[in-house]
């Protein structure tokens, strides 16, 4: 499973024009006020996001209801954030089943936006969780659906002449490799399951 970085502060901070630096797991200094005018509500959201990224389960729990509402409205970013919060145990416990649910919702909601080459909305994580059985039963057929999306997005990003390192950061190039492995496994399982003489 890939290393899941804390995206909460990054995404909220980018939206508000605030930046923070996380170095080698060390605690970062509190965020400085943004350079542009930001409402008190937005700054509170950023501070809670920062506290969540620093390990405050309570701060993460205050963010979850808003993310759930936005995810339910078809926004992929909050779905992805919920997947990460559940995967990392930042809502109290690690729940791979909940993580898979939200990564899948994120992928489904964001798949059409992937063609622009901005970021994988959770397709890689959902695909790998299904392939490994991390969230319950292994489902290779479903895993291929999710991995195909991120593999195609990575290829499209590269074909559009984008910086290769940017494409690799946005869409895991390993998705194409994993996809081929799973296809071979499915093909082999189909051949083993076929009756002799058919």
pLDDT at 169: 67
What mean pLDDT is predicted for residues 77-98?
94
76 closest CA partner among 7, 17, 166 = 7
Residue-wise pLDDT for 138-180, tens only, equals 999 999 998 888 888 777 777 777 666 766 666 777 888 888 8
CATH superfamily of 8-19+45-193: Tetratricopeptide repeat domain (1.25.40.10)
CB 84, CB 7: distance < 8 Å = yes
Would you call 177 helix, strand, or coil by DSSP? helix
pLDDT at 17: 47
Distance of alpha carbon 192 from alpha carbon 177, whole angstroms: 23
On whether the pTM is more than 0.75, the answer is no
Distance of alpha carbon 135 from alpha carbon 122, whole angstroms: 15
| Least confident stretch, 53-62, 65-74, 157-166 | 157-166
pLDDT at 42: 85
Task: Enter the DSSP assignment of 35.
Answer: S
**Encoded tokens for 94:** 């690690």
Would you call 129 helix, strand, or coil by DSSP? helix
Q: Is the pLDDT of residue 129 over 90?
A: yes
- Token pair 């759930």 is at which residue? 68
Query: What residue spans define the domains of the chain?
Result: 8-19+45-193
């Amino acid at each position: 499973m890939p290393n899941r970085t804390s995206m909460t502060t990054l995404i909220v901070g980018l939206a508000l024009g605030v930046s923070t630096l996380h170095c080698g797991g060390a605690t970062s200094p509190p965020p400085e006020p943004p350079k542009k005018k930001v409402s008190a509500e937005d700054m509170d959201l950023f501070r809670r996001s920062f506290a969540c990224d620093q390990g405050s389960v309570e701060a993460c729990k205050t963010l979850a209801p808003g993310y759930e509402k936005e995810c339910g409205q078809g926004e992929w970013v909050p779905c992805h954030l919920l997947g990460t919060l559940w995967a990392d145990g930042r809502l109290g416990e690690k729940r791979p089943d909940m993580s898979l649910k939200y990564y899948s919702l994120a992928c489904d909601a964001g798949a059409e936006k992937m063609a622009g080459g901005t970021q994988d909305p959770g397709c890689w994580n959902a695909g790998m969780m299904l392939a490994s059985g991390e969230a319950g039963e292994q489902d290779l057929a479903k895993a291929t659906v999710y991995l195909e999306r991120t593999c195609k997005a990575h290829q499209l990003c590269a074909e559009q002449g984008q910086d290769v390192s940017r494409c690799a950061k946005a869409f895991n190039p390993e998705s194409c490799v994993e996809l081929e492995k799973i296809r071979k496994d499915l093909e082999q399982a189909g051949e083993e399951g076929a009756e002799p003489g058919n």
